[in-house]
Structure 1
Amino acid sequence: MAHTGKTERTFTNAARRAQIVAAAIETIAELGYAKASFAKITERAELSSPRMISYHFADRDDLMHQIVREVFTAGTEFIVARMADEQTVADKLRAYLEANLQFLREHPREIVALTEIGSHARDASGQPYTSQGAQEPSVRGLEELLSAGQRNGEFRDFDLRSMAVMIRGAVDAAAQRLRGEPGLDFDAYTRELVTAFTLATRSG
């Protein structure tokens, strides 16, 4: 029975943390990072006291970092799953681009919150938490994908690092415009993005 009680508490704690993270995302997306206080998040999550947030997160930065981790993890899982369905490297690159833009379009509030956090939150070394360093794993993964395409002859000879940075930059540009340019046609942007990098990378 004790084991069952512990399991229930674990599930309850996980559910409460998820509730707080979701409320924090909504609050940041609506009010901005600076105004997303524990009091506002408490109100959004319909909690009795800000102390309930403090019970689950060490401080505001801890909560912000959790948001970043969860959004990045969800995005990565979504994109990797789409890429896994493809056989050729060129198709995997297309799937990468399409999945990135689809995730952005389907999770606008999460991406807006991530953008807000990125310009304020700091990691242990004092650097922006979602700065270029946070995107480096994605850039390195793109380099590996592009390299595979060059080795099997699907892609032409080009500088891997430069192309990977450009691809990542084009995806991030769409994310930055979720709030600033609501009229951006994501279907058109996706088509043009795929066309541009298909032409830029293909062999022959």
Structure 2
Amino acid sequence: MSEPRHRTFTEEARRRQIVDRTIELVAERGPAAASLSAIAARAGISKAAVLYHFASKDAVLDATMSHVLDSYVAAVGERVDAADGPDGMLVAYVRGTLAYMRDHPTHVRVLVEGLVRDPDVAAQPSRWQSVAGILAQGQESGVFRAFDTRVLALMINGALDAVVAEWIAAPDLDLDTAAAELETAVLLAVKEATT
């Protein structure tokens, strides 16, 4: 079996252009509008040129979702990695997620639509597992009380998703205020109750 061919700088730039235009198209008109013809028109190239770089529409959508996920994970992960202790990591995750959504509104629609068709992309660890890891660290270090890390991780992500959904429907929602309130609720949920 031969080694896969490495793409040139120009090929990588063209692929990125196609992905960027697909993000715009999905954000403006939804995934149903992201046909190969529409993607090509948005990128200012022929449909054949799109197919030169991607085997199919699904391959374009998979690459688009992978790019958005990688961007989100890198941005939020950087904040979490720089945080001090499990409390700080949890706050960094909550605030980082909402900041990313605010700063990348076109990516939100791609994430909401969940364009994944590639089983390798779909099989990546889910968000709850990453959050559960932070929660388990907090329990192991004695900073957090005993609780089911999976359940609480699902609740935290559910709250984040609800805030983002409301922000999409009502863009006047103040995400900084939402982040502060969610931070307070999350920190109260992980600590022992005091009397």
Note the C-alpha offset of 1:114: 2.7
**Which residue of structure 2 lines up, in the alignment, with residue 106 of structure 1?**
103
Of residues 20, 27, 35 in structure 1, which corresponds to 2:18?
20
Q: Please, which of 14, 22, 31 is the counterpart of residue 33 of structure 1?
A: 31
Contact 1:57–1:63 (8 Å) recurs in 2: yes
> Which residue, 154, 170, 177 being the options, matches 2:159?
170
User: Could you say which residue in structure 2 is the equivalent of 1:184?
Assistant: 173
Query: Quick one: distance in 2 between partners of 1:137 and 1:36?
Result: 25
Q: How does 1:105-124 map to 2 (within 5 A)?
A: 105-116=102-113, 118=114, 121-124=116-119
Q: CA RMSD in A?
A: 2.2
- Once the two structures are superposed, residues 118-154 of structure 1 have per-residue CA deviations (whole angstroms, 9 ceiling, x without a partner) of 2x653459xxx76xx66x4321121121111112121
**Equivalence for 2:140:** 151
Instruction: Give distance in 2, aligned partners of 1:55 and 1:124.
Output: 22
Aligned residues: 189
Can you list the C-alpha shifts for 1:14-71, whole angstroms capped at 9, x where unaligned? Answer: 0000000000111111111112222222221121x11111111111111111111111
Instruction: Give the whole-Å Cα distance in 2 for the aligned partners of 1:43 and 1:65.
Output: 19
Q: In the alignment, is the contact (CA less than 8 A) between 1:108 and 1:178 conserved in 2? A: no
The one-letter code matched in structure 1 to 2:9 is: F
TM-score, normalised with respect to structure 2? 0.88
Deviation at 1:187, TM superposition (A): 1.0
Identity rate, percent = 35
Sort the Cα spacing of 1:148 and 1:192 in 2 relative to 1 into closer, same or farther, 3 A.
Answer: same
Structure 2: gaps of 5 or more residues = none
Paired residue secondary structure (1:34):
helix
Q: Does 1:86 align with 2:83?
A: yes
Counterpart contact for 1:67–1:114, Cα < 8 Å: no
Partner SS state of residue 103, structure 1: helix
Residues 79 and 96, structure 2, Cα contact 8 Å, conserved in 1: yes
